[in-house]
Structure 1
């Protein structure tokens, strides 16, 4: 099972939705709040090829995208496969 990292921020409905989606699929994840962790924003932007929006979700070092991309994977039944 790949490790999942999600970069989040305060008052972010899409972050909450992404966390619920992962939890619903029994996916354990590490959350990094860019507003409270020094350097997290720069780290996220670098890893996400310049994307600045939150959430940004990674399976190991593979950039998945935000909530919409993760939800699309779930709808297509590809989420669990990608996590293997």
Structure 2
């Protein structure tokens, strides 16, 4: 399974929903980068994504987007193939 990275904060309901969706699809480990604990990571996230909101999800180094993007990808049956790729 490819590496899953999620920029997040401690009190973000969409981050919790994204994590729940990923876990329901078999993801056991999510590397969380907490931008509220490490403010310098916010700049890193913005440079990588062009976005200011969390969550920002990466699967295998590919930027997926926020929860809405992740959910849409799942509904279009595109999430599992990404998670099953090596």
The answer to whether the superposition gives a TM-score over 0.5 is yes
Q: Number of residues paired by the alignment? A: 83
What is the DSSP-based 3-state SS (H/G/I as helix, E as strand, rest coil) of the residue aligned with 1:77? coil
- Give the structure-1-normalised TM-score: 0.90
Aligned to 2:71: 71
For residues 33-72 of structure 1, the aligned pairs below 5 Å read: 33-48=34-49, 50-72=50-72
In structure 2, stretches of 5+ residues that fail to align are none
1:29 positional shift: 1.3
1:16-74 Cα distance to aligned partner (Å, 9 max, x none): 000000111111311111011252111111111x2000000011321100001101111
1:14 positional shift: 0.3
**Runs of 4+ residues over 2 Å off in structure 1:** none
User: In 2, distance between residues paired with 1:71 and 1:40?
Assistant: 24
In structure 1, stretches of 5+ residues that fail to align are none
User: In 2, distance between residues paired with 1:81 and 1:34?
Assistant: 29
What is the DSSP-based 3-state SS (H/G/I as helix, E as strand, rest coil) of the residue aligned with 2:53? coil
